[in-house]
Structure 1
Amino acid sequence: MENKNNILIERKESIIFQLDKNQNVGNGWIGGNAPAYFDDKSELFSEIGSDYHFYLCFVSPLDKNNMVSIFIPKEYENRVSKNIYPNCSLYVFEHPVSKESLDSTYTEFGIVKHYISEGIFVSEEQAFETPFFIKFGGNPFHIQEEEYYYTQLEKDGYSFLCQIDEDGYPSGLFHSGTSLPFGFGAVYLYAIVTEDSIKNPIVGYWQYS
């Protein structure tokens, strides 16, 4: 992909995404049902079972055939007690692009389904000045500037992939009385990044305000 070097190697640019309630451009969604890919994949959840909700999925901007889905513990306490690698309780799955399932097994009904917009290439300076929901590539914008969040990840060969920022939620995304999943925070995905490939995406950690 053009610009990949700028995004994930030199990290001069990133791609930012927003949320849109009405316009489905095929880049994924938050809320609603999980992708149909998971309908016959119960073995993936043998460890986590029904104690998890589907949070979101998005199509990889580097490979339009693949998408990334994130599942989060239903209970906030189970999120906050394990919020950092190697014991982060959020699950990431990379899988072929899939339409939304008709099965609501993993659905979080407190979230009104919104679609993920087309991505916009921006400089790191522009990304810092622009509210976003997902920032893919570039460098992480941390809420808490503490090195312990990523020291072990980097020792194990992981690099920042993208972040999901609750500051980018539009009004109307949540039913009244529904708490923000990450305490007005941000989720940071890492992966093994080389010039040729991106492997093993995981949630490295998440931070809250």
Structure 2
Amino acid sequence: MEIKNNILDERKESIIFQLNRNQNVGNGWIGGNAPAYFDDKSELLSAIGSEYHFYLCFVCPLDKNNMISIFIPKEYENRISKNIYPNCSLYVFEHPVSKESMDSTYTEFGMVKHYISEGIFVSDEQAFDTPFFIKFGGIPFLIQEEEYYYTELEKDKYSFLCQIDEEGYPDGVFDSRTSLPFGFGAVYLYAIVAEDSIKNPLVGYWQYS
């Protein structure tokens, strides 16, 4: 897989994604309702209960049949108190591509739904100078350069997968009463990177500025 080699093995390139309020290209969304996949999967969500909001979902660039969905605690204190692997309180689910549900159980109404754009391949050097919302592959751009964030992940054979950067929100994602979920920070996903696939994606940590 040449794409995987460039972005997850050699890590010379990454794929960057933006947000758009009006143009749905089928790459996922932030805000709005959770994917319909979860409508009959109560056992998957039983662990998080009603204390979580749906944050976003996006199609995996390496497998267009699968999406990655993230659910976050409603209360900021429950996010910040557990923000590093293996005790990170953000939940990640990998699942087949799904349309948006009609069920608003996990919807954060302070967020205005925006769609995730088509991905653009850039060198990692270019990505550093290019605004993005999601950066898939390459190396992580850390807000806080502290090894303790990823030491345990690397011990357990996890590698950086992508980051979601709050600097990439366009105007209008949140109403005036809603605070940014991660304190103008970034969320870092890791996974087991196998020869021809990625396995067990999870939130390794999140950082705030």
In structure 2, C-alpha distance between the alignment counterparts of 1:136 and 1:47, rounded to whole Å: 28
Residue of structure 2 equivalent to 1:202: 202
Residue of structure 2 equivalent to 1:73: 73
Residue of structure 2 equivalent to 1:53: 53
Residue of structure 2 equivalent to 1:157: 157
Alpha carbons 1:9, 1:195 under 8 Å: kept:
no
Identity score, percent: 88
Q: 1:45, CA displacement in angstroms?
A: 1.7
Alpha carbons 2:54, 2:108 under 8 Å: kept:
yes
Residue of structure 1 equivalent to 2:85: 85
1:128-180 Cα deviation digits (max 9, x unpaired)? 00010000000000000000000000000000000000000000110111100
Report the residue type matching 1:191 in the other structure.
Answer: A
Computed over aligned residues only, the root mean square deviation of the Cα atoms, in angstroms, reads: 0.6
Q: Which runs of 4+ in 1 moved over 6 A?
A: none
- Map 1:3-42 onto structure 2 (within 5 A): 3-42=3-42
1:98-150 Cα deviation digits (max 9, x unpaired)? 00000000000010000000000000110000010000000000000000000
In structure 2, C-alpha distance between the alignment counterparts of 1:30 and 1:202, rounded to whole Å: 18
In structure 1, C-alpha distance between the alignment counterparts of 2:92 and 2:5, rounded to whole Å: 24
Report the residue type matching 2:91 in the other structure.
Answer: Y
Alpha carbons 2:3, 2:62 under 8 Å: kept:
no
Alpha carbons 2:53, 2:71 under 8 Å: kept:
yes
- Map 1:98-177 onto structure 2 (within 5 A): 98-177=98-177
In structure 1, C-alpha distance between the alignment counterparts of 2:3 and 2:64, rounded to whole Å: 15
In structure 2, C-alpha distance between the alignment counterparts of 1:194 and 1:13, rounded to whole Å: 18
In structure 1, C-alpha distance between the alignment counterparts of 2:118 and 2:3, rounded to whole Å: 16
After the TM superposition, which of the residue ranges 191-200 and 10-19 deviates more from structure 2?
Answer: 191-200
SS at match of 1:77: helix
In structure 2, C-alpha distance between the alignment counterparts of 1:172 and 1:2, rounded to whole Å: 37
SS at match of 1:3: helix
Alpha carbons 2:8, 2:137 under 8 Å: kept:
yes
SS at match of 2:2: coil
Q: 1:3, CA displacement in angstroms?
A: 2.1
Report the residue type matching 1:63 in the other structure.
Answer: D
TM-score when normalising by structure 1? 0.99
Alpha carbons 2:39, 2:103 under 8 Å: kept:
yes
Q: 1:47, CA displacement in angstroms?
A: 1.8
In structure 2, C-alpha distance between the alignment counterparts of 1:139 and 1:195, rounded to whole Å: 18
Structure 1's unaligned 5+ residue stretches are none
SS at match of 2:177: coil
Q: 1:195, CA displacement in angstroms?
A: 2.3
